[in-house]
A and B are shown apart, each in its own frame.
Chain A
Amino acid sequence: MHKPEPDKFKIPVGPQHPALKEPEGFSVALKGEKIMGLEIRLGYNHRGIEKACEERTYIQDLYLIERVCGICSHSHSTCFVQAVEEIAAVEVPKRALYIRTLIGELERVHSHLLWLGVAGHEIGFDTLLMYAWRDREIVMDLLALITGNRVNYGMNTIGGVRRDISKEQAEEVLKGINILEERTKYYIEIATQETTIIKRLSGVGIISHEDALKLDAVGPTARASGVNRDVRYNDPYAAYGEITFNVITDTHNDVYGRTLVRVKELMESYQIIRQCLKKIPDGPILTKVPRKIPIGEATSRYEAPRGEDVHYVKSNGSEKPERVKIRAPTLANIQAVKHMLKDRFLADMPIVIAAIDPCFSCTDRSVSLENPGDRNKEIMTWHALRTYSIEWYKKQGIDFTELNNNLKNKLERR
């Protein structure tokens, strides 16, 4: 180990660290327990999705973009199709818009519950993690019921949605929402009463109203600093124009405020889901759209669970887009983290980072097939990699050939 300066430690939090769910580098200079400086290195998750989008058709892009992020997959795909539909000037059926809204809100519920659990874990309150994630299963089951998948729902397509929602499903959703509402009330009670939670959250990660505006913070992070900014309200899309709901803001400016905003947003989401199911009109769910999208460009905004998601699409009249730009909410918020951690304690770092609900894979968007450290740029294809591994195991005296053949036979017999 290099000799540390007498009273200053430099701790690497990441690229791999238990506090981070995804690789991202934070280098913290410490004096005792106090944070003296913070350096952020992003980009470990860069997958070159924007470039990849240019080489695929719009329909293929849809599936790729859904995989920008595992948690807010519906947000990204909705944001993208909205932009494409705007360029193609398609009238999307009302029913499809309502279904999009419904899935979007269910996704918000699952994302916020996930966040609540993660936040609990970061402050060492694993019980909250277990409870929140248990309840999250309810909404995951609902999503699986409607879309067939727990994540990456594959609901959106250009011109509408791919699956309709039946009466029985709607009833199931209402039932699930009722249970979740009860549970959420309980969490609000915990968050506002449990002393250790309040002690760990309040006064931590403060970002003032002015700084939040200056640093372009978005979503619950900004709203907890009193910034009344919610794309659903300011720039309504899908069916939000016909639905009444409140924009939750808070003036605590700290992690505690962000927690309150999120749990209260959960309650709002339940209301939105109920309205959706009540107002949803009958009719078709899909308008046919030609494969070739006319020349044009459009910017689409979407309020993802983490904040404003922005997609810009430019088309050149062919089947493939000219340019797709994705700005995920975390990228807008990550710059606020530096501000929040000034003169705070090391112990606050995990929760402060978690409090913006970071999603680094959204932020970075790479399957860098090249080994970046390798100057010779020897590239291994999937096939070569597989052959290499088989050879490697053979050298170790382990032969999988028979096993593979058995497996193949088994699959063929089916």
Chain B
Amino acid sequence: MIKALFSILIFPGFLFVSVFGLFAEFFDRKIYARLQNRVGPPWFQTFADFIKLLAKEDIVPCEANPRMFGLAPIFALASVITVFLYIPLWKTETLFSFNGDIIMVLYLLTVPTLAFFIGGWYSTSLFARIGSVRCVTQLFAYEVPLFMSILAAALLANSWSLVDIVIFYTRHPLYCLFNLIGFGISLIALLGKLEKTPFDIPEAETEIVAGAFTEYSGRLLAILRLTIDIEMVVGSALLVAVFFPFGLTLAPITGFVVFMAEIMFVIALLSLLRTVVARLRIDQMINFCWKYMVPLAIFQLLLNLTLKRILM
């Protein structure tokens, strides 16, 4: 019981993942800044921002539905933290692992987007409404290739459990090479999930101010920002666990460090991607997802099915 509470609240639960998420945001911003030839923020910037936001007043618009407006961020945060409990961090084992948890993880990762939609919609601001509609429109475009490519990897490992997938790819590291297309697709889809350039359409600053978050302030905004930071960490961790989960069989500490480094590598890739492109328009984004990413994901799926026939 105490062990479970410890895992949920401290490690690898709430506290650890929050600190890690804020650190990841700093890491992302620093790389982004260095690539743009800027200095970038100091290491404590994201923490300071977070604490400052917590101290600020929450303003709920008169017209907004206060319950939905207030609950949406908390739902979003809760779901992303829960995901972390299912990802193996320092050894090939998690707390609540069961067969089929990868499906649950993918669904839990969808919850924040829906929560943003609800929060944005119920804040009744024009900008927030357009932003939240864009959120959901985008969701349908990137979610399909993301699911397909991750499930393709699971298919090859012949399991719906993250732990089993990790064990499988640790034993057969060369099989990871088959999933390279899937990794690329997931990485791009993750950009959409995290609402980062070129898919930062739902919060396109120059068009709709801050999209679904326009009316948020104070603690609720802090929670939303923390959610996105954690989503970035969790999403990257999921990609690492599925596509190249090396090092977890090493000693706990080394394994943990290697795993963290791999997560940072994925985050660095995300930063690099968002440095070199411009924001797409929503129609272009949907076109791109359905025209190129989905066929590629289907190809990956077929490839893995064939491989499974041949290899096993």
Interface residues of A (CB under 8 A from B): 1, 4, 9-12, 17-19, 30, 33, 120-128, 130-131, 134, 194, 196-197, 199-200, 345-350
Contacts and interface: CB of A to CB of B under 8 A. Distances in A.
A121 B206 contact: yes
Contacts of A199: 278, 280-281, 284
B277 A125 contact: yes
25 contacts: A10-B126, A11-B208, A18-B206, A18-B209, A19-B207, A121-B206, A122-B206, A123-B278, A124-B200, A124-B204, A124-B205, A130-B37, A131-B37, A194-B278, A196-B278, A196-B279, A196-B280, A199-B281, A200-B279, A200-B284, A345-B283, A346-B130, A347-B282, A349-B207, A350-B207
A18 B198 contact: no
B22 to A, nearest CB: 22
B36 A131 contact: yes
Interface in B242-295: 275-284
Given A1-B124, A124-B279, A199-B280, A347 B201 contact: yes
A9 B126 contact: yes
B201 A9 contact: no
Contacts of A19: 205-207
Contacts of B67: none
Given A17-B209, A122-B206, A347-B201, A33 B280 contact: no
B278 A200 contact: yes
Contacts of A1: 63, 124-126
Interface residues of B, number: 31
Interface of B: 35-38, 63, 124-127, 129-130, 197-198, 200-201, 204-209, 275-284
B278 A120 contact: yes
Contacts, number: 88
A1 B129 CA distance: 12
B275 A127 contact: yes
Contacts of B209: 17-18
B197 A348 contact: no
B279 A346 contact: no
A347 B278 contact: no
Contacts of A30: 130
A54 to B, nearest CB: 39
Given A134-B37, A196-B198, A350-B206, A124 B283 contact: no
- Interface centre among B63, B124, B197, by most A CB within 10 Å? B197
Contacts of A196: 198, 277-280
B130 A125 contact: no
B279 A125 contact: yes
B262 to A, nearest CB: 26
A11 B127 contact: yes
- Interface centre among A30, A126, A345, A348, by most B CB within 10 Å? A126
B278 A125 contact: yes
Contacts of B204: 124, 347
Contacts of A131: 36-37
B197 A347 contact: no
A239 B293 CA distance: 56
Nearest to B196: A124
B205 to A, nearest CB: 5
Contacts of A127: 35-36, 275-276
Contact of A346 (B207, B275, B280): B207
A33 B278 contact: no
Nearest to A348: B281
A196 B288 CA distance: 11
Contacts of B277: 125, 194, 196
A120 B280 CA distance: 12
Nearest to B137: A33
Nearest to A349: B207
Given A18-B205, A345-B281, A11 B198 contact: no
A172 B38 CA distance: 25
A18 B209 CA distance: 6
- Interface centre among B126, B200, B207, B208, by most A CB within 10 Å? B207
Nearest to B61: A1
B271 to A, nearest CB: 11
A70 to B, nearest CB: 21
A199 B282 CA distance: 12
Q: Which 8 A-B pairs have the closest CB atoms?
A: A124-B279, A125-B278, A130-B36, A19-B206, A350-B206, A196-B278, A347-B281, A196-B277
A174 B83 CA distance: 59
